[in-house]
């Protein structure tokens, strides 16, 4: 059992997830709701359950993560009851280039912090997500970083930082489809921008029709399992950027929110793409 400050129980949970999962117990004076929110917000991790066994004593059952859980941009691992950071920058570099880190989290050398329109996710290293989220011309560095909005024969192409594309897209679509709840439109559009397969050079596409709005994003082999029919989480660093700018709340929250506010919305996989259809 661990007697923990906030940072310590987060380290322990991250390390457990990175080491194949498991069960751990700790004490905390914070309530269960606060602890769950802190874990989800800080680690962007949802594959756990937390139970308060008795006052201030908690047990967490944690599943192994499909991608490394980072805390302060360090990867923590657990051995027995102890947890350790991978502090070696060479080890981190090897993880980046071996593919064990998600594509959006991998380091990029060709961009400097002063090139960005917004502060990067981390001060000491830039990753692919920083280019997508915050660079004024991301499509000039990584092809396909734009959003296409189609209405009839008209086609509008939005470029610039991905977070700006999100805000502009929501504004444009909401003016055309006024009856769609803003919260649903925001969740569907931002979900597509966060989880799109940006490595394929294909932008997110919005099709505004008479009765529907279709929002289409690509799915990569990293997050699409057609054989078993489910979608894995991906692009955790892009998610961090959207959360920082109040455009998302975390993994696993979007679809339940959409179903609550507009249950007739459909989400399906078509030809390797995720297609969300909102009925106007």
Beta strands in 101-170 (DSSP E): 147-151, 154-158
pLDDT tens for each residue of 167-186? 999 999 999 888 888 888 99
pTM over 0.85: no
Q: Which domains occur in the chain, in start order?
A: 2-93 (3.30.950.30), 138-279 (3.30.565.60)
Report pLDDT digits (tens) over 81-135: 677 776 555 555 555 545 556 788 888 888 999 999 999 988 778 899 999 999 9
pLDDT tier for residue 143 given thresholds of 50, 70 and 90: confident
Question: Is the model's pLDDT at 3 over the cut of 80?
Answer: no
Number of other residues whose CB lies within 10 A of the CB of residue 63: 15
Q: How confident is the model at residue 228 (pLDDT cuts 50, 70, 90)?
A: very low
Across the range 155-163, mean pLDDT stands at 95
pLDDT, tens digit, for every residue of 46-93?
Answer: 788 898 888 888 888 888 876 778 887 677 877 666 777 765 555 555
d(CA 211, CA 231): 27
CA distances from 3 to 18, 25, 57, 207 (A): 21, 9, 9, 52
What percent of the chain clears pLDDT 90, i.e. is strictly above it?
29
87 vs 200: CA distance, rounded Å: 32
């Amino acid at each position: 059992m661990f007697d923990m400050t906030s940072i310590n129980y987060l380290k322990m949970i991250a390390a457990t997830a990175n080491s194949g999962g498991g069960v751990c117990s700790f004490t905390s004076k914070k309530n269960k709701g606060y602890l769950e929110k802190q874990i989800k917000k800080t680690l962007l991790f949802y594959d756990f359950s937390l139970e308060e066994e008795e006052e201030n004593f908690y047990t967490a059952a944690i599943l192994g993560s499909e991608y490394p859980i980072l805390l302060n941009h360090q990867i923590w691992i657990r051995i027995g009851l102890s947890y350790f950071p991978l502090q070696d920058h060479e080890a981190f570099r090897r993880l980046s280039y071996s593919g064990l880190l998600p594509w959006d989290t991998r380091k990029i050398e060709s961009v400097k912090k002063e090139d960005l329109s917004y502060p990067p996710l981390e001060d000491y290293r830039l990753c692919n997500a920083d280019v997508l989220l915050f660079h004024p011309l991301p499509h000039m560095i990584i092809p396909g970083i734009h959003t296409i909005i189609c209405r009839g024969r008209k086609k509008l192409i939005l470029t610039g930082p991905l977070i700006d594309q999100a805000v502009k897209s929501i504004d444009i679509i909401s003016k055309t489809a006024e009856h769609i709840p803003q919260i649903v439109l925001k969740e569907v559009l931002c979900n597509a921008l966060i989880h799109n397969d940006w490595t394929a050079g294909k932008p997110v596409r919005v099709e505004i029709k008479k009765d529907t709005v279709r929002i289409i994003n690509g799915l990569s082999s990293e997050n699409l399992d057609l054989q078993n029919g489910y979608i894995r989480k991906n692009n955790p660093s892009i998610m961090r950027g959207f959360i920082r700018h109040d455009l998302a709340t975390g993994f696993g929250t979007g679809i339940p929110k959409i179903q609550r506010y507009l249950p007739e919305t459909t989400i399906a996989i078509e030809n390797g793409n995720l297609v969300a259809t909102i009925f106007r």
